[in-house]
Structure 1
Amino acid sequence: MMIDSGLPSSEAARRASGSSFYAAMRILPQPQRQAMFEIYSFCRAVDDIADGYQADSEIRLEQLQHWRSQIDAVYAGKPLSNLRQLADAVSTFDLRREDFLAIIEGMRMDVVSAMRAPDLSTLDIYCDRVACAVGRLSVRVFGMEENAGIALAHHLGRALQLTNILRDLDEDATIGRLYLPREALDDAGITTSDPLTVLSDPAIDKACLMIAARAHQHFTQAEMIMARSPRRIVRTPRSMAAAYRMMLNRLTARGWRAPRAPVRLRPRQLLWIVLRYVV
């Protein structure tokens, strides 16, 4: 079976243009910007596999394994021709193989299990793989000091992923997923793990507020780390944090009881946030 895993640089930029982080990535100098486009494009590609319900789980696992092989080839100095710019980013910014593989493992979690009300420990592992590993790659591109960068990836990655979970409840439920942890549901008195039933329960607010509080704690820790870092180095992550914290505040103000109106930031709002951190 032939699997097309490569993405040309133009495709990397095109995929990134659909991200809510695009404006924040655009303010980076060209080498860093291209590296972030390549990282985002890789993440988008493996995420598309995890969410590809047109294919059965065995095919999707095979596709993820193929990506793992291609990452191994990049680090062996034998990348596919259309992964050469990703290989350039790996070399230029000393990106770690284990972080790419962690992202693939996070996507694998979505394929091998239904991800319905995981316990907090499992959810934390998932967040570390699908979000914090991306952060660990990103902070190397930004040029952060090692320890500060790892700490920022730990907190900001979790903050962003928990916000995504709270934003995408209905979208995830349509494909049978529920990332709210079992402990939050139990605390709210919700005993089922069926996504649609959980989302129609009036106690959903209590469960979501527990996760929102965790996200806010991680945002606060991330902001403290960035405040101690050179401003020019953390312009992009500060923009990302500000945009997502605004989204989290709006989700909290709206609440999570049905019916839930979608919460999205408008392009001009994202641009305004980015411009705050350009200088």
Structure 2
Amino acid sequence: MSKANVPTQATRSSFYAGMRVLPKDEREAMYAVYDFCRIVDDIADDQHGERPARMADLDAWRVDLDALYAGRDPGRAAFLAAHVHRFALERADFEAVIDGMAMDVAQDIRWPSEAELDAYCDHVASAVGRLSVNIFGMDREPGVALAHHLGRALQLTNILRDIDEDAEIGRVYISAEALRLAGIEPTTPQAIAADPRMDKAARHMAARAHEHYRQAGLILAPKPKGHLIAPRLMEIAYARMLRRMEQVGWAPPRERVRSNKLGLLLTVLWLLVAG
């Protein structure tokens, strides 16, 4: 697939404004990484495709990445080539993203252990962060630490926002430990989502997310090197959304909390002024 045919999904992101303020090379690289993630995520979430075919499609992306990093024809990964070389994006991080998607394809994830959930969050979120911090120009050590904490915080927030949507497709990302703490017996995704004790289980996971936001904030507080408006925006906006979910609660029937686009724009402007 040529670069021109890759879906420009980045333009639909709530954080488009945050990416727009990046220099041109960094902005285009972030859009390319975003598009890669959307493409493989769509494979993982394709409810109409058979699992073996979807796994084969993910494996085909591994082959294209192999070719890209070996200097051969990268096939569908061609739109990543210039950015990989310019920003020294690591193949292992792209591979980790595919590994996370493969976890969803292999079987519907249901009440994973906290260790399994943490590994999943690393693959589908923190690995994206590791790619991003290279583009943002952060030093590698604080960048990897920021990706570790902010990626997990964002993914846990997404999980807590999407409990009902995930249950509809047979998935439960709420950890077994959180369910056990709330006294919920794992049965079916629909029964778990409808259990009034879900509020207690969700608040246990929200506390973990808050700790990751706190750690990310500590890394960002000294204003490390790099164009970091985008991760600062994500930290502020998603932490705000998590607090709103806590105010509403997770007892069914749940009200889906959404990000406020005007609030995001105002936050971008504030970050630009603050520097």
TM-score when scaled to structure 2?
Answer: 0.95
- How many aligned residue pairs are there? 273
Alpha-carbon RMSD across the aligned residues, in angstroms, is 1.5
Give distance in 1, aligned partners of 2:4 and 2:222. 34
1:8 to 3, 6, 16: 3
Which residue does the alignment assign to 1:256? Answer: 250
Query: Comparing 100-109 with 260-269, which one deviates more in the overlay?
Result: 260-269
Matches within 5 A, 1:140-219: 140-219=134-213
CA distance change for structure 1 residues 243 and 9 in 2, over 3 Å: closer, same or farther? farther
Gaps of 5+ in 2: none
* 2:206 alignment partner, SS class: helix
Query: Is this contact kept in 1: 2:125–2:155, CA < 8 A?
Result: yes
Give distance in 1, aligned partners of 2:127 and 2:225. 23
The one-letter amino acid of 2:112's match is: P
> Once the two structures are aligned, what percentage of the paired residues are identical?
49
Give distance in 2, aligned partners of 1:150 and 1:262. 31
Q: Does 1:115 align with 2:102?
A: no
2:12 to 9, 18, 31: 18
Query: Is this contact kept in 1: 2:2–2:79, CA < 8 A?
Result: no
* 2:105 alignment partner, SS class: helix
The one-letter amino acid of 2:38's match is: R
Which residue does the alignment assign to 2:29? Answer: 35
Which residue does the alignment assign to 1:265? Answer: 259
Query: Is this contact kept in 2: 1:117–1:193, CA < 8 A?
Result: no
TM-score when scaled to structure 1?
Answer: 0.94
Which residue does the alignment assign to 1:230? Answer: 224
Once the 2 structures are TM-superposed, how far is the Cα of residue 200 of structure 1 from its aligned partner? Answer: 1.1
Query: Is this contact kept in 2: 1:127–1:158, CA < 8 A?
Result: yes
Query: Is this contact kept in 2: 1:123–1:181, CA < 8 A?
Result: yes
Give distance in 2, aligned partners of 1:63 and 1:133. 20
Once the 2 structures are TM-superposed, how far is the Cα of residue 20 of structure 1 from its aligned partner? Answer: 2.2
Give distance in 2, aligned partners of 1:102 and 1:67. 12
Which residue does the alignment assign to 1:3? Answer: none
